[in-house]
């Protein structure tokens, strides 16, 4: 029996996950979709055999053919959907961010803790990207020695119209926050956000680019250039500087051409293209582990830690200076 999945939210990510479950991965089918916009939900459901459309997440989760939930609604709607899924004790894949702020993320951690078992995988898909996986394996092998610094670059072609200066941190740098914690196995203890004069290519009033410095409890530094209106392409790069050498991913040199006195290649234009394999593997891993009754991957604790770091980052952006990160005590479920 394939796993019956309710997809909550049929925006860009949600619709892409419906396509992925329906056509790319195995062992699952979309049995329900939910969107506040009934017409949108109907349109997406019409494209999938045996899929029903809903406007209320609770109604979808109560349906008999729903075994698991994929939450891809906007961040502020995640907490309510997660708590409803917990009431039905349903496994969840929740898109990042877990929730928009640390207090609500901690409520989700506590609610899962009360269930007594992990139910949630958080959608930090970079952990499934082949290049990131290789970088982590190399760092863990010890060949390069202790990591001292990570240099990250995160560039988007253009930001969507609703993007705000704080979203460069909470929506975009959130990925480097998780990648830093995961690659190094450290917690982040402080954040400093520096703001160069905005690019003329950025919408009026948007603080773009920004430069972020993360300090870790293992004594490492991780810096992030975030530039969401770079205009030329989607680039995510990371370089680890260690005691005995460096390792770098994201150069995108998979196809190099030589022609008419020049050499070059192409640059991905968005994350759906750059991280296609990571998304496919992330959702397949979730389906496979869920069918075995297991939960792996980024946890609600990881989602909470990222939210707490981003909240400190937004304060640094707004008030200037270095802001310390205060984390709650890590519950036994996540140790």
| Footprint on residues 74-93 left by ligand ISE (CB under 6 A) | none
Q: CA 211 to CA 328: how far, in whole Å?
A: 27
Nearer to ligand ISE, 120 or 228 (CB): 228
211: number of CA atoms within 13 Å, CB side? 7
Please give the C-alpha separations between residue 130 and each of 134, 271, 278, in angstroms, as whole numbers.
6, 14, 7
Q: Residue 122, interface with ligand ISE (CB under 6 A)?
A: no
End-to-end CA distance of the chain: 33
H or E element that contains 164: none
| Binding flag, residue 171, ligand ISE (CB under 6 A) | yes
Using the minimum distance from each CB to ligand ISE, give the nearer residue, 35 or 129.
Answer: 129
Is residue 282 close enough to count as binding ligand ISE by CB under 6 A? no
Among 52, 104, 121, 156, binds ligand ISE (CB under 6 A): 156
76: tokens are 């502020």
Cβ proximity to ligand ISE, 147 vs 250, nearer residue: 250
Given the complex with ligand ISE, which of 160 and 185 has the nearer CB atom?
Answer: 160
- In the list 124, 132, 227, 271, the residue contacting ligand ISE (rule: CB under 6 A) is 271
Smallest gap, in angstroms, from Cβ of residue 137 to ligand ISE? 22
DSSP string, 113-126: HHHTS--EEEE-GG
Q: Which residues from 216-235 bind ligand ISE, rule CB under 6 A?
A: 228
For residue 124, report the phi and psi dihedrals to the nearest 5 degrees.
-80, 85
The answer to whether the CB of 302 falls within 8 A of the CB of 120 is: no
Options 172, 216, 229, 299; binder of ligand ISE; rule CB under 6 A: 172
Which residues of the chain form contacts with ligand ISE (CB under 6 A)? Answer: 156, 171-172, 175, 228, 271
């Amino acid at each position: 029996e394939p796993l019956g999945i309710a997809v909550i939210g049929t925006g860009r990510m949600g619709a892409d996950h419906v396509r992925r479950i329906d056509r790319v991965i195995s062992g699952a089918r979309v049995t329900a979709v939910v969107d506040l916009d009934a017409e949108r939900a109907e349109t997406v459901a019409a494209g999938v055999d045996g899929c029903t459309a809903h406007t209320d997440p609770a109604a979808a989760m109560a349906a008999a053919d729903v075994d698991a939930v994929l939450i891809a609604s906007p961040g502020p709607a995640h907490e309510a959907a997660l708590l409803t899924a917990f009431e039905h004790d349903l496994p969840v894949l929740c898109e990042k961010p877990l929730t928009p702020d640390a207090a609500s993320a901690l409520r989700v951690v506590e609610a899962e803790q009360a269930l007594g078992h992990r139910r949630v995988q958080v959608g930090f898909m970079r952990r499934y990207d082949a290049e990131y996986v290789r970088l982590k394996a190399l760092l863990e092998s010890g060949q390069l020695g202790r990591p001292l610094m990570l240099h990250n670059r995160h560039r988007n072609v253009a930001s969507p119209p609703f993007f705000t200066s704080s979203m460069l941190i909470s929506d975009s740098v959130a990925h480097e926050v998780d990648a830093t914690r995961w690659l190094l196995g450290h917690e982040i203890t402080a954040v400093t956000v520096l703001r160069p004069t905005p690019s003329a290519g950025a919408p009026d009033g948007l603080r773009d680019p920004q430069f972020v410095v993360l300090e870790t409890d293992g004594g490492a530094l991780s810096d992030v250039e975030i530039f969401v209106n770079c205009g030329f392409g989607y680039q995510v790069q990371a370089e680890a500087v260690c005691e005995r050498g460096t390792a770098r991913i994201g150069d995108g040199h998979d196809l190099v051409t030589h022609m008419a006195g020049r050499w070059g290649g192409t640059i991905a234009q968005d994350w759906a293209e750059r991280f296609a394999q990571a998304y496919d593997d992330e959702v397949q891993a979730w389906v496979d582990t869920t069918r075995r009754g297991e939960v792996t991957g980024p946890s609600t604790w990881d989602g909470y830690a990222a939210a707490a770091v981003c909240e400190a980052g937004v304060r640094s952006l707004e008030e200037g200076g270095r802001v310390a990160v205060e984390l709650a005590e890590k519950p036994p479920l996540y140790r």
